[in-house]
Amino acid sequence: MNQKSKSLEHTLNVIRRQVADEYPELTLHFITSAPKTPPEATKDTPSNDNLYALPDHPAKEAMLNHLKKHPPTKTTFAGAALTKKTNIPFWRNKDKFLAVCYINIQDMAEQNEHLFPTAPEKHQRLIGYSLAWKAIDLYLKYKQGQTDSYNLNNEDLLTPIHTLANRLRANLISECFAAMLMEQQGDTGTIPKLMKKRSHLCLNKIEKTTPELHPFPISYDATRLVFNDLQNKDPDKTQLLAHTLFMADEIDGTCDDIILKQWREFCYATQEMAWMDRSRNEILSAATYSSDDPHMRTTAYIIAEALNTDVTPLNNPQYHNPFADQEKYERLHKKTALTMFEQLIITATQEGRPELLMQQALQQNTRLLAGDIIGWCAPALIKTCNAYSKEDIRIELLQELFANILHDTKWSDICKLNRFIMLKKRQSIPITSDVITNEFVRNKSELSPFKEAFTAI
């Protein structure tokens, strides 16, 4: 076992013992694995070499069956198996829970490079405490009878209800809990450091990151206020987890589902601009001065302040701004395309070179892949080129055909294609004509012009 593995094992053992001390009915177990895909659990009795070697617990078999049916691959809280108390009179017992968290070591190492590159042990604690919160939260909701917060199957297996809002909220509150707990245990400055790192990730193009799923920045002010007012200053730190859970609940009350989903939309737009090679200042300025949504503007201000970035109004930018009024950009898009075509078709007809239209379509596709979508009209160029006749050339008919197809290729669909392309880039997936036709166009008739634009050249 290398030093990093020993450090992680020590960190997780400390967290496990803390949970056991304050919540004796809850057994927290961490599974760590280096591969991207975990090996299959053996059918024999679990051993120390088995990925799913669970501790001795009355709910062990139920959890093992769950893990075999739903093997985790990403760092996640897998759920909790429950052993209910018996109905034997005068027999003192309680419900017992076995909660399992899975940590993909390779993914954790990659994420650590973006969060705490010089202090991996801090990232280990952040991940460990975040997962612990999810386990404790589920345990408490079951104890409190909040049946709308979890699923309970016939094998007494508890799992959270996975909606988008629930996932965003769990990621938010678990990181608030982890950061405040770390602060109280001596990791001074964790809250502002995490704020800066999460803010940085949403404004920069970094492959295989998902800032839209980590809305910690929108709770930063609330976290600071709650922590400064309510932090546990008792040197003995008794009931530290329970007290920090109380603080996290206070923060939870400040974020409704709408704000969480708007964070997701905010990050989609910032990532789109980042992968179009726009600067931090351009992105935050676009959100601050162009968006009609007050939550978007507020979020941009908060992040700009955290990153010490000045935002200034953009001076009539010619690149796409996803935060702005899209009707304005649609008008600019059509004007740009029509102006280009008027000059191009004159040259093509005068020189008898219809291939110029196809060459322009190819160039536009190349620019589209880089995020330059204003004026993109490859479908119209290709169909106009196909209709071109050297024997009977009438420029006005070609212009009318081009204008009609340009109109039929909706600006909103072009924006969706651009976001699709940027998302694939974020996932390190090469953009090919097959990817666009099979995953974006698929069988949607209204998107058929896009298919021709990438297959007819």
Query: Confidence band (pLDDT; 50, 70, 90) for 392?
Result: low
Tell me, what's the pLDDT at 188?
95
Tell me, what's the pLDDT at 51?
63
Mean pLDDT of 435-453: 92
Tell me, what's the pLDDT at 432?
93
Tell me, what's the pLDDT at 317?
83
Percent of the chain with pLDDT over 70: 92
Tell me, what's the pLDDT at 153?
86
Mean pLDDT of 229-258: 91
Check whether 41 has a pLDDT greater than 80. Answer: no
Tell me, what's the pLDDT at 224?
96
Of these ranges, 146-155, 370-379, 441-450, the one predicted with the greatest mean pLDDT is 370-379
Tell me, what's the pLDDT at 270?
98
Query: Confidence band (pLDDT; 50, 70, 90) for 296?
Result: very high
Q: What is the pLDDT of residues 208-236, one digit of tens each?
A: 999 999 999 999 999 999 999 999 877 77
3-class SS at 135? helix
Query: Confidence band (pLDDT; 50, 70, 90) for 16?
Result: very high
Asked whether 130 and 178 are in contact (CB, 8 A), the reply is yes
Check whether 276 has a pLDDT greater than 50. Answer: yes
Tell me, what's the pLDDT at 49?
39
Residues 6+ apart with CB under 8 A from 200: 114, 307
Q: What is the pLDDT of residues 83-115, one digit of tens each?
A: 865 554 444 456 899 999 999 999 999 999 999
Tell me, what's the pLDDT at 315?
85
Query: Confidence band (pLDDT; 50, 70, 90) for 3?
Result: low
Check whether 47 has a pLDDT greater than 70. Answer: no
Q: What is the pLDDT of residues 119-173, one digit of tens each?
A: 999 999 999 999 999 999 999 999 999 988 899 987 789 999 989 999 999 999 9
Mean pLDDT of 385-403: 86
Ranges of each domain in the chain:
1-106+147-161, 163-316, 326-455
Q: What is the mean pLDDT of the chain?
A: 91
Query: Confidence band (pLDDT; 50, 70, 90) for 205?
Result: very high
Distance between CA atoms of residues 277 and 443, nearest Å: 32
Check whether 196 has a pLDDT greater than 80. Answer: yes
Residue type, 404: N
Pinpoint the alpha helices (H) of 116-186.
120-143, 164-184
Q: What is the DSSP string of 284-343?
A: HHHHHHH-S-HHHHHHHHHHHHHTT-------S-SS--TTS-HHHHHHHHHHHHHHHHHH
Asked whether 50 and 41 are in contact (CB, 8 A), the reply is yes
- CA 406 from chain center: how many Å? 34
Q: In the 8-state DSSP scheme, what is residue 441?
A: I
Q: Is 57 exposed, middle or buried (0-12, 13-18, 19+ CB in 10 A)?
A: middle
Check whether 40 has a pLDDT greater than 60. Answer: no
Check whether 30 has a pLDDT greater than 50. Answer: yes
Distance between CA atoms of residues 9 and 13, nearest Å: 6
Tell me, what's the pLDDT at 389?
74
